[in-house]
Structure 1
Amino acid sequence: MLFKLLLIGDSGVGKTCILYRFSDDAFNTTFISTIGIDFKIKTIELKGKKVKLQIWDTAGQERFHTITTSYYRGAMGIMLVYDITNAKSFDNIAKWLRNIDEHASEDVVKMLLGNKCDMTERRVVSRERGEKIAADHNIKFLETSAKMNVHIDTAFYDLAEAILEKMPNQPEEPRGVTVQANNGPTSSGGCC
């Protein structure tokens, strides 16, 4: 199974760091803005099934908006990311939610991540505010830290599990093909 996931949010909130922490278990302190779009693939095991996660990392800057909205199509899960030390990134979550409504399928699974939760001394967005906006939109909420690897795996596994639960149960594939010969009377001299 292949699940297409999307990371969206303002520039600098840590989307790329979240992706690299999950896919490569790596963290880079050097900030390089994503140009357009990037993606990684990671295969996980979920409820006894192998699931390939194709995770798209979008640029947060407005100038890439027209490029990135086309990637909403076909997305099965979307992680909205804000930075707990940046009030504007939190305020813009409403804008990102509108983008999802406009460009993504209506059954897409959404999750809200308040990133950089390790930076408690610089926090400007309370956990309660994150929980409230998530509850208002009926989406799951987690506070994460790509740097300290807090709830990163949990976020991806929870999102993938929610997608899996929404999928219709697929019947088991047949294990083999049975061929039966027709031993009825045959006519001679005829065709076929």
Structure 2
Amino acid sequence: MDLQRLESYQAGAGPDYTDHILHKTVLVGDSGVGKTSLLVQFDQGKFLPHSFAATVGIGFTVMLLGDSGVGKTCFLIQFKDGAFLSGTFLATVGIDFRNKVVTVDGVRVKLQIWDTAGQERFRSVTHAYYRDAQALLLLYDITNQSSFDNIRAWLTEIHEYAQRDVVIMLLGNKADVSSERVVRSEDGEMLAREYGVPFMETSAKTGMNVELAFLAIAKELKHRAFQQAHIDEPSFQIRDYVEAQKKRPSCCSFV
């Protein structure tokens, strides 16, 4: 559901969102038969006449999780479009998603990123999607203590509903608002070590570590996929990679 339609539902136009059931439809067929054009026609109501490159062959689903207001939607838009939308956001209803292709060690990797509602009343909807995600980015707001305190509850839900080997990364968002900080960086580091997950602080406003978070996830998922396919792949540890990259300027390649 695009942002314009999403806002119309949030504003009360159209049917009550509680009456909606989310379904998935998969397009299959030989390369070149027009699957991508069919999807673009449905999503955007137009036909793109130029030749498409074949759809990326390796792809993964990444979910953004965390309390309402921690900045998940802004985080996604910063990654997808390189922009920060200032002003007050209406809370996401149910599930929204965006796609982006990243280049990892010369391999094109498609990420489908699901932006989820943080409010309790939508949890039954988001729970149904946990098992389809290969990676989860769990966000809290460094200026909101309760959003950090609730991380343990989110991790409990993840362990209950998600795949056993799902990739998890903990992110302390809104790091640009340092004057209003109430959660220390050290507290985030300690919690991440307790659960054995990588951690970094991010800013959807400035873009700090946003691309790095997604690239680290993409590298880990690509590494796992190649291992399963018995393709020679250099060893990779996502936590070591994140710690090393946090000390360097971003070197990500995005298309």
Question: What amino acid sits opposite 1:13 in the alignment?
Answer: V
CA distance in 1, matches of 2:122, 2:132: 19
Question: What amino acid sits opposite 1:170 in the alignment?
Answer: A
Counterpart contact for 2:63–2:116, Cα < 8 Å: yes
SS for the counterpart of 1:33 is coil
Q: Tell me what 2:81 maps to.
A: 24
Gap regions ≥5 residues in structure 2: 1-57, 232-255
Partner of residue 221 from structure 2, selected from 163, 173, 177? 163
- Structure having the higher strand fraction is 1
CA distance in 1, matches of 2:106, 2:181: 39
Aligned-residue Cα RMSD (Å) equals 1.0
Greater gyration radius: 1
Question: What amino acid sits opposite 2:84 in the alignment?
Answer: F
Counterpart contact for 2:109–2:222, Cα < 8 Å: no
Q: Deviations over 1:139-180 (max 9, x none)?
A: 0001000001100000000111122222324257xxxxxxxx
1:131 correspondence with 2:201: no
- Structure having the higher helix fraction is 2
Q: CA deviation at 1:71?
A: 1.1
Q: CA deviation at 1:22?
A: 0.2
SS for the counterpart of 1:4 is strand
Range 162-171 or range 60-69, more displaced? 162-171
Partner of residue 147 from structure 1, selected from 205, 225, 228? 205
Question: What amino acid sits opposite 2:73 in the alignment?
Answer: T
Which has the higher relative contact order, 1 or 2, with Cα contacts under 8 A spaced 6 or more apart?
A: 1
Q: Tell me what 1:15 maps to.
A: 72
Q: Tell me what 1:100 maps to.
A: 158
SS for the counterpart of 1:22 is helix
Counterpart contact for 2:139–2:171, Cα < 8 Å: yes
Tell me the matched-pair count.
172
Give the TM-score taking structure 2 as reference length.
Answer: 0.66
Q: Deviations over 1:19-55 (max 9, x none)?
A: 0000011111121210111000001111111100000
CA distance in 2, matches of 1:165, 1:96: 26
Partner of residue 81 from structure 1, selected from 123, 135, 139? 139
Q: Give the 4+ runs in structure 1 shifted more than 3 A.
A: none
Gap regions ≥5 residues in structure 1: 173-192
Question: What amino acid sits opposite 1:15 in the alignment?
Answer: K
| % identical equivalent positions | 49
CA distance in 1, matches of 2:153, 2:113: 21
